[in-house]
Amino acid sequence: MHKITLIVLSAGDSSRFQTKKIPKKQWLRIGELPLWLKVAQEISSYYPFSKVLISAKECEKKYMQRYLDSFGLDFLLTTGGETRQESLKNALSQVDEEFVLVSDVARCSIPKSIFDTILLEANNYDCVVPYIPINDTIVYDKDGLEYLQREQIKIIQTPQLSKTKILKNALGNHTYTDESSAIYANGGKVGFVLGSLQSRKLTSLEDLSSLSLPPPNKKTLIGCGSDIHALKKGEGILLGGVFIPCEFKLIAHSDGDVCLHALSDAILGGIGAGDIGEWFPDNDETYKNADSAKLLEQITNFTLNVGYTIQQVDITIFAQKPKISPYKQAIEKNIAKLLGIPLFCVNVKATTTEKLGFIGRQEGILVHSNVVLTYFQWHNKTNEEEQ
Protein backbone atom coordinates (compact mmCIF):
# COMPACT_ATOMS: atom_id res chain seq x y z
CA MET A 1 0.00 0.00 0.00
CA HIS A 2 1.32 3.44 -0.97
CA LYS A 3 1.89 6.18 1.60
CA ILE A 4 -0.12 9.12 0.28
CA THR A 5 -0.95 12.56 1.65
CA LEU A 6 -4.18 14.20 0.49
CA ILE A 7 -4.19 17.97 -0.13
CA VAL A 8 -7.50 19.75 -0.68
CA LEU A 9 -7.01 23.30 -1.97
CA SER A 10 -9.63 25.59 -0.46
CA ALA A 11 -8.00 29.00 0.02
CA GLY A 12 -9.23 30.78 -3.10
CA ASP A 13 -11.23 33.99 -3.23
CA SER A 14 -13.85 32.58 -5.64
CA SER A 15 -13.53 35.74 -7.72
CA ARG A 16 -15.32 34.19 -10.73
CA PHE A 17 -18.05 32.71 -8.55
CA GLN A 18 -18.75 35.35 -5.93
CA THR A 19 -21.06 38.03 -7.31
CA LYS A 20 -24.29 39.65 -6.11
CA LYS A 21 -23.72 38.80 -2.44
CA ILE A 22 -23.00 35.15 -3.07
CA PRO A 23 -20.70 33.39 -0.59
CA LYS A 24 -17.36 31.88 -1.52
CA LYS A 25 -18.05 28.54 -3.16
CA GLN A 26 -16.07 26.56 -0.59
CA TRP A 27 -18.52 27.81 2.06
CA LEU A 28 -21.76 26.89 0.29
CA ARG A 29 -23.68 24.54 2.57
CA ILE A 30 -24.43 20.97 1.58
CA GLY A 31 -26.99 20.30 4.26
CA GLU A 32 -25.15 21.91 7.17
CA LEU A 33 -21.64 21.06 5.98
CA PRO A 34 -19.58 23.68 4.14
CA LEU A 35 -18.49 22.45 0.73
CA TRP A 36 -14.79 22.29 1.66
CA LEU A 37 -15.54 19.88 4.50
CA LYS A 38 -17.86 17.75 2.38
CA VAL A 39 -15.14 17.39 -0.28
CA ALA A 40 -12.36 16.64 2.22
CA GLN A 41 -14.41 14.03 4.07
CA GLU A 42 -15.56 12.37 0.87
CA ILE A 43 -12.13 12.00 -0.75
CA SER A 44 -10.46 11.04 2.53
CA SER A 45 -12.87 8.09 2.80
CA TYR A 46 -11.50 6.61 -0.44
CA TYR A 47 -8.15 5.56 1.01
CA PRO A 48 -6.21 5.37 4.32
CA PHE A 49 -4.23 8.55 3.62
CA SER A 50 -1.23 9.22 5.87
CA LYS A 51 -2.66 12.67 6.53
CA VAL A 52 -5.15 15.13 5.09
CA LEU A 53 -4.15 18.77 4.57
CA ILE A 54 -6.64 21.51 3.74
CA SER A 55 -5.35 24.86 2.53
CA ALA A 56 -7.25 27.76 4.05
CA LYS A 57 -7.30 31.51 3.89
CA GLU A 58 -5.57 32.83 7.00
CA CYS A 59 -8.62 34.77 8.23
CA GLU A 60 -10.79 31.63 7.95
CA LYS A 61 -8.51 29.05 9.59
CA LYS A 62 -9.79 29.57 13.14
CA TYR A 63 -13.38 29.27 11.98
CA MET A 64 -12.65 26.16 9.89
CA GLN A 65 -10.95 24.55 12.87
CA ARG A 66 -14.24 24.80 14.79
CA TYR A 67 -15.81 22.51 12.17
CA LEU A 68 -12.96 20.03 12.34
CA ASP A 69 -13.14 19.97 16.13
CA SER A 70 -16.92 19.55 16.04
CA PHE A 71 -16.59 16.34 14.04
CA GLY A 72 -13.43 15.11 15.77
CA LEU A 73 -11.43 15.25 12.53
CA ASP A 74 -7.63 15.32 12.58
CA PHE A 75 -7.32 17.08 9.22
CA LEU A 76 -4.60 19.74 9.26
CA LEU A 77 -5.14 23.30 8.02
CA THR A 78 -2.36 24.98 6.07
CA THR A 79 -2.14 28.65 5.20
CA GLY A 80 -3.15 29.50 1.67
CA GLY A 81 -1.28 31.93 -0.57
CA GLU A 82 -2.28 34.53 -3.11
CA THR A 83 -2.37 31.90 -5.86
CA ARG A 84 -3.23 28.22 -6.15
CA GLN A 85 0.43 27.39 -6.60
CA GLU A 86 1.46 29.29 -3.45
CA SER A 87 -1.20 27.44 -1.48
CA LEU A 88 0.04 24.14 -2.87
CA LYS A 89 3.68 24.90 -2.04
CA ASN A 90 2.74 25.86 1.53
CA ALA A 91 0.91 22.57 1.97
CA LEU A 92 3.68 20.54 0.33
CA SER A 93 6.14 21.83 2.91
CA GLN A 94 4.35 19.53 5.38
CA VAL A 95 4.40 16.46 3.12
CA ASP A 96 7.09 13.76 3.50
CA GLU A 97 5.22 10.78 2.00
CA GLU A 98 6.25 9.35 -1.35
CA PHE A 99 3.00 10.36 -3.06
CA VAL A 100 0.66 13.31 -2.79
CA LEU A 101 -2.89 13.51 -4.13
CA VAL A 102 -3.98 17.08 -4.86
CA SER A 103 -7.55 18.13 -5.51
CA ASP A 104 -9.46 21.40 -5.69
CA VAL A 105 -12.56 22.02 -3.61
CA ALA A 106 -14.22 23.19 -6.84
CA ARG A 107 -14.19 19.51 -7.93
CA CYS A 108 -16.90 18.71 -5.42
CA SER A 109 -18.32 15.42 -6.74
CA ILE A 110 -15.40 13.15 -7.58
CA PRO A 111 -16.36 9.46 -7.97
CA LYS A 112 -14.27 6.94 -6.01
CA SER A 113 -13.76 4.99 -9.22
CA ILE A 114 -11.62 7.85 -10.57
CA PHE A 115 -9.29 7.67 -7.58
CA ASP A 116 -9.09 3.88 -7.85
CA THR A 117 -8.09 4.16 -11.51
CA ILE A 118 -5.47 6.80 -10.72
CA LEU A 119 -4.00 4.62 -7.97
CA LEU A 120 -3.47 1.73 -10.37
CA GLU A 121 -1.05 3.88 -12.38
CA ALA A 122 0.89 5.30 -9.40
CA ASN A 123 4.12 3.43 -10.11
CA ASN A 124 4.07 4.06 -13.85
CA TYR A 125 4.20 7.86 -13.95
CA ASP A 126 5.48 10.89 -12.05
CA CYS A 127 1.97 12.37 -12.23
CA VAL A 128 -1.32 10.63 -13.00
CA VAL A 129 -4.09 12.87 -14.31
CA PRO A 130 -7.81 12.32 -15.00
CA TYR A 131 -9.16 13.88 -18.17
CA ILE A 132 -12.30 14.04 -20.25
CA PRO A 133 -12.25 14.03 -24.07
CA ILE A 134 -13.62 16.72 -26.37
CA ASN A 135 -16.67 15.81 -28.48
CA ASP A 136 -17.11 19.13 -30.28
CA THR A 137 -15.19 20.60 -33.21
CA ILE A 138 -12.38 22.83 -31.91
CA VAL A 139 -10.94 25.79 -33.82
CA TYR A 140 -7.99 28.00 -32.91
CA ASP A 141 -8.59 31.52 -34.21
CA LYS A 142 -5.41 33.58 -34.50
CA ASP A 143 -4.13 35.02 -37.78
CA GLY A 144 -6.47 32.63 -39.54
CA LEU A 145 -8.39 29.56 -38.49
CA GLU A 146 -6.78 26.32 -37.46
CA TYR A 147 -9.05 23.33 -36.88
CA LEU A 148 -7.60 21.11 -34.18
CA GLN A 149 -7.84 17.36 -33.93
CA ARG A 150 -10.22 16.91 -31.03
CA GLU A 151 -9.01 13.34 -30.49
CA GLN A 152 -5.71 14.81 -29.30
CA ILE A 153 -7.23 17.35 -26.90
CA LYS A 154 -7.85 16.60 -23.25
CA ILE A 155 -9.67 18.58 -20.56
CA ILE A 156 -7.61 18.12 -17.41
CA GLN A 157 -9.24 17.49 -14.04
CA THR A 158 -8.20 16.85 -10.44
CA PRO A 159 -7.39 14.98 -8.26
CA GLN A 160 -3.88 14.39 -9.56
CA LEU A 161 -1.47 11.93 -7.97
CA SER A 162 2.17 12.98 -8.03
CA LYS A 163 5.47 11.77 -6.69
CA THR A 164 6.11 14.28 -3.93
CA LYS A 165 9.81 15.00 -4.47
CA ILE A 166 9.33 15.45 -8.20
CA LEU A 167 6.39 17.80 -7.71
CA LYS A 168 8.24 19.91 -5.14
CA ASN A 169 11.21 20.30 -7.48
CA ALA A 170 9.00 21.00 -10.50
CA LEU A 171 7.06 23.89 -8.98
CA GLY A 172 10.21 26.02 -8.56
CA ASN A 173 9.73 29.71 -9.33
CA HIS A 174 7.59 29.34 -12.45
CA THR A 175 3.80 29.53 -12.49
CA TYR A 176 1.71 26.52 -13.47
CA THR A 177 -2.04 25.93 -13.46
CA ASP A 178 -1.83 22.36 -12.17
CA GLU A 179 0.59 19.67 -11.03
CA SER A 180 0.83 17.84 -14.36
CA SER A 181 1.92 20.93 -16.32
CA ALA A 182 4.65 21.66 -13.75
CA ILE A 183 5.96 18.10 -13.79
CA TYR A 184 5.82 17.83 -17.58
CA ALA A 185 7.61 21.18 -18.04
CA ASN A 186 10.44 19.83 -15.91
CA GLY A 187 10.89 16.58 -17.80
CA GLY A 188 8.58 14.38 -15.73
CA LYS A 189 6.42 11.58 -17.07
CA VAL A 190 2.66 12.30 -17.10
CA GLY A 191 0.03 9.59 -17.49
CA PHE A 192 -3.66 10.03 -18.22
CA VAL A 193 -6.74 8.15 -17.06
CA LEU A 194 -10.32 8.73 -18.14
CA GLY A 195 -12.06 11.16 -15.79
CA SER A 196 -15.75 11.85 -15.27
CA LEU A 197 -18.28 14.52 -16.18
CA GLN A 198 -19.40 14.20 -12.57
CA SER A 199 -16.08 15.81 -11.62
CA ARG A 200 -16.82 18.99 -13.53
CA LYS A 201 -15.50 22.15 -11.91
CA LEU A 202 -17.77 24.47 -9.95
CA THR A 203 -17.00 27.88 -11.48
CA SER A 204 -20.30 29.77 -11.50
CA LEU A 205 -23.60 29.59 -9.65
CA GLU A 206 -25.24 28.05 -12.71
CA ASP A 207 -22.92 25.03 -12.45
CA LEU A 208 -24.65 23.96 -9.23
CA SER A 209 -27.79 22.94 -11.08
CA SER A 210 -25.89 20.20 -12.93
CA LEU A 211 -23.94 18.84 -9.95
CA SER A 212 -26.86 17.19 -8.12
CA LEU A 213 -25.69 18.34 -4.69
CA PRO A 214 -28.08 18.20 -1.71
CA PRO A 215 -29.50 21.67 -0.93
CA PRO A 216 -28.52 23.69 2.14
CA ASN A 217 -30.29 23.14 5.45
CA LYS A 218 -33.14 25.62 5.94
CA LYS A 219 -32.66 26.00 9.70
CA THR A 220 -32.89 29.42 11.31
CA LEU A 221 -29.96 30.64 13.36
CA ILE A 222 -30.32 33.19 16.16
CA GLY A 223 -27.59 35.47 17.47
CA CYS A 224 -27.73 37.66 20.57
CA GLY A 225 -25.36 40.46 21.53
CA SER A 226 -25.12 43.03 24.30
CA ASP A 227 -22.80 45.91 25.01
CA ILE A 228 -22.47 48.62 27.65
CA HIS A 229 -20.47 51.82 27.58
CA ALA A 230 -20.11 54.45 30.26
CA LEU A 231 -20.99 58.08 29.66
CA LYS A 232 -19.08 61.21 30.47
CA LYS A 233 -19.48 64.88 29.62
CA GLY A 234 -19.08 65.59 25.94
CA GLU A 235 -20.68 66.95 22.80
CA GLY A 236 -22.47 63.94 21.38
CA ILE A 237 -22.53 60.19 20.85
CA LEU A 238 -22.67 57.73 17.97
CA LEU A 239 -25.47 55.14 17.96
CA GLY A 240 -25.96 52.87 14.98
CA GLY A 241 -23.60 55.07 13.02
CA VAL A 242 -25.79 58.14 13.59
CA PHE A 243 -24.43 61.13 15.49
CA ILE A 244 -26.70 62.32 18.29
CA PRO A 245 -25.78 65.77 19.66
CA CYS A 246 -26.07 65.89 23.44
CA GLU A 247 -24.14 66.72 26.62
CA PHE A 248 -22.55 63.25 26.77
CA LYS A 249 -19.75 61.23 25.25
CA LEU A 250 -19.32 57.44 25.31
CA ILE A 251 -16.13 56.13 26.93
CA ALA A 252 -14.50 53.51 24.70
CA HIS A 253 -11.31 52.40 22.98
CA SER A 254 -13.00 52.75 19.57
CA ASP A 255 -15.59 55.37 18.61
CA GLY A 256 -17.87 53.90 21.30
CA ASP A 257 -20.83 53.00 19.09
CA VAL A 258 -22.44 50.66 21.62
CA CYS A 259 -25.27 49.89 19.20
CA LEU A 260 -23.04 48.61 16.41
CA HIS A 261 -20.91 46.71 18.94
CA ALA A 262 -23.95 44.82 20.22
CA LEU A 263 -25.05 44.15 16.64
CA SER A 264 -21.58 42.86 15.72
CA ASP A 265 -21.63 40.49 18.69
CA ALA A 266 -25.09 39.24 17.74
CA ILE A 267 -23.93 38.39 14.22
CA LEU A 268 -20.81 36.64 15.51
CA GLY A 269 -22.94 34.74 17.99
CA GLY A 270 -25.30 33.58 15.26
CA ILE A 271 -22.50 32.08 13.17
CA GLY A 272 -20.44 30.86 16.13
CA ALA A 273 -17.38 33.01 15.42
CA GLY A 274 -16.46 34.40 18.83
CA ASP A 275 -17.06 37.99 19.90
CA ILE A 276 -16.03 41.49 18.93
CA GLY A 277 -13.37 41.56 21.63
CA GLU A 278 -11.59 38.61 20.00
CA TRP A 279 -11.79 40.21 16.59
CA PHE A 280 -10.79 43.73 17.61
CA PRO A 281 -9.06 43.67 21.04
CA ASP A 282 -9.27 46.87 23.07
CA ASN A 283 -5.57 46.56 23.96
CA ASP A 284 -4.60 46.78 20.29
CA GLU A 285 -3.74 50.34 19.26
CA THR A 286 -4.80 49.46 15.70
CA TYR A 287 -8.38 49.90 16.85
CA LYS A 288 -7.90 53.10 18.84
CA ASN A 289 -10.81 55.40 17.86
CA ALA A 290 -11.79 52.85 15.19
CA ASP A 291 -14.91 53.43 13.13
CA SER A 292 -17.39 50.82 14.41
CA ALA A 293 -19.17 50.84 11.05
CA LYS A 294 -15.92 49.64 9.43
CA LEU A 295 -15.55 46.91 12.05
CA LEU A 296 -19.14 45.80 11.43
CA GLU A 297 -18.42 45.77 7.69
CA GLN A 298 -15.56 43.30 8.23
CA ILE A 299 -17.81 41.04 10.29
CA THR A 300 -20.66 41.29 7.79
CA ASN A 301 -18.38 40.47 4.85
CA PHE A 302 -16.96 37.49 6.72
CA THR A 303 -20.48 36.29 7.53
CA LEU A 304 -21.48 36.46 3.87
CA ASN A 305 -18.25 34.84 2.68
CA VAL A 306 -18.67 31.81 4.94
CA GLY A 307 -22.18 31.10 3.76
CA TYR A 308 -24.81 33.00 5.76
CA THR A 309 -27.59 35.45 4.97
CA ILE A 310 -28.71 38.05 7.53
CA GLN A 311 -32.50 38.03 7.55
CA GLN A 312 -33.65 40.20 10.46
CA VAL A 313 -32.25 42.56 13.10
CA ASP A 314 -33.98 43.68 16.30
CA ILE A 315 -32.21 46.13 18.63
CA THR A 316 -33.21 47.59 21.99
CA ILE A 317 -31.37 50.65 23.31
CA PHE A 318 -31.58 51.34 27.06
CA ALA A 319 -30.76 54.99 27.75
CA GLN A 320 -32.17 57.56 30.18
CA LYS A 321 -30.52 60.30 28.18
CA PRO A 322 -30.16 61.37 25.45
CA LYS A 323 -33.62 60.84 24.00
CA ILE A 324 -33.26 58.24 21.25
CA SER A 325 -36.73 58.25 19.65
CA PRO A 326 -36.08 61.14 17.22
CA TYR A 327 -33.13 59.21 15.76
CA LYS A 328 -34.58 55.70 15.54
CA GLN A 329 -35.50 55.91 11.86
CA ALA A 330 -32.10 57.25 10.90
CA ILE A 331 -30.42 54.44 12.87
CA GLU A 332 -32.60 51.80 11.19
CA LYS A 333 -31.84 53.18 7.74
CA ASN A 334 -28.12 53.27 8.41
CA ILE A 335 -28.01 49.72 9.79
CA ALA A 336 -30.00 48.43 6.83
CA LYS A 337 -27.48 50.10 4.53
CA LEU A 338 -24.48 48.74 6.44
CA LEU A 339 -25.84 45.18 6.36
CA GLY A 340 -27.19 45.37 2.83
CA ILE A 341 -30.69 44.25 3.84
CA PRO A 342 -34.13 45.87 3.38
CA LEU A 343 -35.19 48.54 5.85
CA PHE A 344 -38.24 46.50 6.91
CA CYS A 345 -35.83 43.84 8.21
CA VAL A 346 -34.35 46.22 10.79
CA ASN A 347 -36.14 47.27 13.96
CA VAL A 348 -34.78 49.60 16.63
CA LYS A 349 -36.51 50.14 19.98
CA ALA A 350 -35.53 52.64 22.66
CA THR A 351 -36.49 52.73 26.32
CA THR A 352 -35.44 54.30 29.61
CA THR A 353 -35.12 52.48 32.92
CA GLU A 354 -37.43 54.89 34.75
CA LYS A 355 -34.35 56.45 36.40
CA LEU A 356 -33.35 53.12 37.95
CA GLY A 357 -29.76 51.82 38.08
CA PHE A 358 -26.68 53.11 36.31
CA ILE A 359 -28.69 53.80 33.18
CA GLY A 360 -31.26 55.80 35.14
CA ARG A 361 -28.44 57.78 36.72
CA GLN A 362 -27.21 58.66 33.20
CA GLU A 363 -23.93 56.85 33.80
CA GLY A 364 -24.08 54.61 30.75
CA ILE A 365 -26.00 53.08 27.83
CA LEU A 366 -26.88 49.41 27.31
CA VAL A 367 -27.87 47.84 23.99
CA HIS A 368 -29.30 44.38 23.30
CA SER A 369 -29.32 43.05 19.73
CA ASN A 370 -30.91 39.97 18.17
CA VAL A 371 -30.14 38.74 14.67
CA VAL A 372 -31.83 36.07 12.56
CA LEU A 373 -29.67 34.33 9.95
CA THR A 374 -30.01 31.43 7.54
CA TYR A 375 -27.58 29.51 5.39
CA PHE A 376 -27.34 31.02 1.93
CA GLN A 377 -30.00 29.21 -0.08
CA TRP A 378 -28.06 28.63 -3.28
CA HIS A 379 -30.61 26.04 -4.38
CA ASN A 380 -33.26 28.77 -4.69
CA LYS A 381 -30.83 31.01 -6.57
CA THR A 382 -30.09 28.36 -9.20
CA ASN A 383 -33.83 27.83 -9.69
CA GLU A 384 -34.27 31.58 -10.20
CA GLU A 385 -31.50 31.58 -12.81
CA GLU A 386 -33.18 28.75 -14.69
CA GLN A 387 -36.50 30.63 -14.72
- Asked if residue 224 and residue 201 are part of one domain, the reply reads no
- Asked if residue 255 and residue 179 are part of one domain, the reply reads no
- What is the Cα 230 distance to its own chain's centre? 36
Residue 248 within a domain: yes
Q: Is residue 156 over pLDDT 80?
A: yes
CA-to-CA separations, 117 to 112, 186, 357, in angstroms, rounded: 9, 25, 72
Find out whether 277 is annotated in a ligand binding site: yes
Length reported for the chain? 387
Q: Which of 27-31, 182-186, 313-317, 379-383 has the lowest mean pLDDT?
A: 379-383
Q: Is residue 384 over pLDDT 60?
A: no
Most confident region among 10-14, 70-74, 170-174, 205-209 by mean pLDDT: 70-74
Q: What is the DSSP string of 160-229?
A: EEEEHHHHHHHHTTS--SSHHHHHHHTT--EEEEE--GGG----SGGGGGGTTPPPBP--EEEEEEEEEE
- Asked if residue 199 and residue 273 are part of one domain, the reply reads no
Find out whether 354 is annotated in a ligand binding site: yes
CA-to-CA separations, 144 to 136, 141, 359, in angstroms, rounded: 20, 6, 79
Find out whether 114 is annotated in a ligand binding site: no
pLDDT band at 218 (very low <50, low <70, confident <90, very high): very high
Q: Is residue 47 over pLDDT 60?
A: yes
Structural element, H or E, at residue 119: helix 112-120
With contact defined as beta carbons under 8 Å apart, do 163 and 101 qualify? no
- Tell me the three state secondary structure of residue 321: coil
Task: Provide the number of structural domains found in the chain.
Answer: 2
Reported for 55-63, long-range contacts at CB under 8 A and 24+ positions apart, including other chains, are 55/7, 55/8, 55/9, 55/10, 55/11, 55/79, 55/80, 55/87, 55/88, 55/90, 55/91, 56/10, 56/11, 56/80, 57/11, 57/13, 59/302, 60/305, 60/306, 62/274, 63/273, 63/306
**CATH value at residue 28:** 3.90.550.10
- Asked if residue 139 and residue 256 are part of one domain, the reply reads no
- Asked if residue 315 and residue 281 are part of one domain, the reply reads yes
Mean pLDDT of the region 164-177: 93
Find out whether 282 is annotated in a ligand binding site: yes
pLDDT above 90: percentage of residues in the chain: 73
Separation CA 205–CA 210 (nearest Å): 10
pLDDT of 244-271, one tens digit each?
A: 998 888 877 778 899 999 999 999 999 9
With contact defined as beta carbons under 8 Å apart, do 21 and 304 qualify? yes
The CA angle 252-255-260, to the nearest 5 degrees, is: 100
Find out whether 284 is annotated in a ligand binding site: yes
Domain carrying residue 354 = 220-378
Find out whether 228 is annotated in a ligand binding site: yes
- Asked if residue 271 and residue 176 are part of one domain, the reply reads no
- Asked if residue 145 and residue 163 are part of one domain, the reply reads yes
- Tell me the three state secondary structure of residue 80: coil
Residue 385 within a domain: no
- Asked if residue 225 and residue 203 are part of one domain, the reply reads no
Residue 83 within a domain: yes
Residue 250 within a domain: yes
pLDDT band at 376 (very low <50, low <70, confident <90, very high): very high
pLDDT band at 360 (very low <50, low <70, confident <90, very high): confident
- Asked if residue 123 and residue 52 are part of one domain, the reply reads yes
Residue that is last in its domain, among 210, 232, 260: 210
pLDDT of 25-34, one tens digit each?
A: 999 999 999 9
Find out whether 261 is annotated in a ligand binding site: yes
Find out whether 280 is annotated in a ligand binding site: yes
Task: Report strand pairing: 33-34 vs 29-30.
Answer: antiparallel
342 vs 288, residue with greater confidence = 342
pLDDT band at 285 (very low <50, low <70, confident <90, very high): confident
Structural element, H or E, at residue 69: helix 61-70
Mean pLDDT of the region 222-238: 91
Find out whether 2 is annotated in a ligand binding site: no
Find out whether 275 is annotated in a ligand binding site: yes
Per-residue confidence (pLDDT) for residue 353, from 0 to 100: 86
339 vs 256, residue with greater confidence = 339
Q: Is residue 387 over pLDDT 50?
A: no
Find out whether 340 is annotated in a ligand binding site: no
Find out whether 60 is annotated in a ligand binding site: no
pLDDT of 125-151, one tens digit each?
A: 999 999 999 988 989 888 889 898 888
pLDDT band at 273 (very low <50, low <70, confident <90, very high): very high
Find out whether 299 is annotated in a ligand binding site: no
- From the list 180, 207, 270, the residue with the least C-alpha distance to 35 is 207
Find out whether 253 is annotated in a ligand binding site: yes
pLDDT band at 346 (very low <50, low <70, confident <90, very high): very high
Q: Where are the beta strands (DSSP E) in 50-197?
A: 51-56, 76-79, 99-104, 127-133, 138-141, 145-148, 154-156, 160-163, 190-194
- Tell me the three state secondary structure of residue 257: coil
Per-residue confidence (pLDDT) for residue 242, from 0 to 100: 94
Q: Which of 165-174, 176-185, 332-341, 378-387 has the lowest mean pLDDT?
A: 378-387
Find out whether 361 is annotated in a ligand binding site: yes
Residue 227 within a domain: yes
Separation CA 8–CA 40 (nearest Å): 6
Find out whether 370 is annotated in a ligand binding site: no
With contact defined as beta carbons under 8 Å apart, do 204 and 17 qualify? yes
- What is the Cα 217 distance to its own chain's centre? 17
Q: Is residue 211 over pLDDT 90?
A: no
Per-residue confidence (pLDDT) for residue 82, from 0 to 100: 92
Instruction: Kindly give the residue spans of alpha helices, DSSP state H, lying in 212-327.
Output: 258-271, 276-279, 292-305
Per-residue confidence (pLDDT) for residue 386, from 0 to 100: 47
Residue 383 within a domain: no
Structural element, H or E, at residue 336: helix 328-339
Residue 215 within a domain: no
Global confidence as pTM: 0.90
- Asked if residue 166 and residue 123 are part of one domain, the reply reads yes
- Asked if residue 205 and residue 83 are part of one domain, the reply reads yes
Separation CA 75–CA 68 (nearest Å): 7
Q: Which of 61-65, 140-144, 290-294, 375-379 has the lowest mean pLDDT?
A: 140-144
- Asked if residue 153 and residue 55 are part of one domain, the reply reads yes
Q: Is residue 382 over pLDDT 80?
A: no
**CATH value at residue 363:** 3.30.1330.50
Separation CA 258–CA 24 (nearest Å): 30
CA-to-CA separations, 186 to 75, 93, 275, 288, in angstroms, rounded: 31, 19, 49, 51
Q: Which of 52-56, 108-112, 199-203, 238-242 has the lowest mean pLDDT?
A: 199-203
Average pLDDT over all residues of the chain:
92
Residue 386 within a domain: no
Find out whether 303 is annotated in a ligand binding site: no
Find out whether 121 is annotated in a ligand binding site: no
Per-residue confidence (pLDDT) for residue 385, from 0 to 100: 47
Separation CA 139–CA 156 (nearest Å): 18
